[in-house]
């Protein structure tokens, strides 16, 4: 904790927070009273960094640069490594920053901890890919958002995680047809306004339908696809959540 390299890294790198969040997930999993864990990740692009955080830390600790700076004598150093360390040592003498010593101390403080990091990273990967883990993606029926979801699905599958379902949120509810509006006991002016509104909504619904079909076509066969109607405001009560649950529909 007193090492200045560690202090700067822990303050500057967002990946440290991602790694610690994964550590917390493992702690909750180990608690006896845990029946269900609901993990709400950041949006798709940031979620990949979160899910990959343990492995990125392992790659850092196992990198050639860390081995060199740590000066591990168990593996031995080649001539190029000795030359590189000599340059760093000369830099320290000129600047009097003692940077090499701090970096070496930082790396050596991890000695003996690497095995534990590796074991927990493996456990986290197995947990995320386990049969009783359900990865559910939330998106909206917009072409750009669907594109991000498709990329996220591909990245998850590449890392060995099969998404269980995707929910297309905030879809438009059904609107009256032109024939229904024509039969309604409204004035001519109101019927014209409703007809124009229905045409606009139907155009948006068609774009939504095309986006949903694109997501369905690119999704793995084992992934279920759901839609949920737009609630028009933020749900705030159990009654609101019940309404949302009732509008949740699976697409066959």
In order, the DSSP letters of 36-95 are --------HHHHHHHHHHHHHHHHHHTSHHHHHHHT-TTT---HHHHHHHHHHHHHHHHH
- pLDDT by residue (tens digit) across 191-246? 999 999 999 998 999 999 999 999 999 999 999 999 999 988 899 999 999 999 99
CATH class of 134-252: alpha beta
Say how far apart CA 234 and CA 232 lie, in whole Å.
Answer: 7
Phi/psi of residue 229, nearest 5 degrees: -70, 155
Pairing, β 224-229 against β 249-250: antiparallel
Say how far apart CA 90 and CA 163 lie, in whole Å.
Answer: 52
- pLDDT by residue (tens digit) across 20-33? 788 888 999 999 99
Stretch 170-177: mean pLDDT? 85
Where are the chain's structural domains?
1-130, 134-252
Token reading at 56? 């990125």
Check residues 45 and 127 and name the one with the higher pLDDT. Answer: 127
Say how far apart CA 176 and CA 195 lie, in whole Å.
Answer: 9
Say how far apart CA 146 and CA 139 lie, in whole Å.
Answer: 7
The DSSP-derived string for 180-236 is HHHHSS--HHHHHHHHHHHHHHHHHHHHHHHHHHHHHHHS-TT-EEEEEE--SS---
């Amino acid at each position: 904790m007193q090492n200045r390299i560690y202090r700067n890294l822990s303050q500057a790198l967002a990946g440290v927070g991602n790694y610690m969040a994964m550590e917390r997930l493992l702690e909750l999993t180990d608690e006896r009273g845990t029946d269900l864990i609901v993990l709400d990740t950041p949006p798709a692009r940031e979620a990949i960094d979160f899910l990959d955080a343990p492995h990125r830390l392992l790659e850092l600790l196992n990198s050639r640069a860390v081995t060199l700076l740590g000066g591990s004598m168990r593996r031995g150093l080649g001539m190029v490594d000795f030359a590189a360390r000599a340059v760093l040592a000369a830099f320290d003498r000129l600047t009097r920053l003692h940077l090499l010593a701090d970096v070496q101390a930082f790396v050596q403080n991890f000695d003996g901890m690497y095995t534990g990091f590796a074991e927990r990273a493996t456990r986290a990967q197995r947990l995320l890919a386990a049969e009783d883990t359900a990865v559910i993606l939330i998106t909206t029926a917009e072409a750009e958002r669907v594109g991000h979801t498709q990329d996220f699905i591909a990245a998850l599958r590449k890392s060995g995680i099969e998404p269980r379902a995707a929910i297309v949120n905030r879809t438009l509810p059904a609107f009256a047809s032109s024939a229904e509006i024509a039969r309604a006991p409204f004035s001519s002016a109101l019927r014209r306004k409703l007809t124009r509104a229905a045409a606009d909504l139907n155009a948006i619904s068609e774009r939504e339908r095309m986006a949903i079909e694109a997501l369905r076509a690119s999704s793995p066969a084992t992934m279920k696809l759901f839609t949920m109607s737009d609630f028009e405001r933020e749900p705030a009560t159990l009654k609101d959540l019940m309404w949302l649950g009732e509008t949740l529909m699976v697409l066959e």
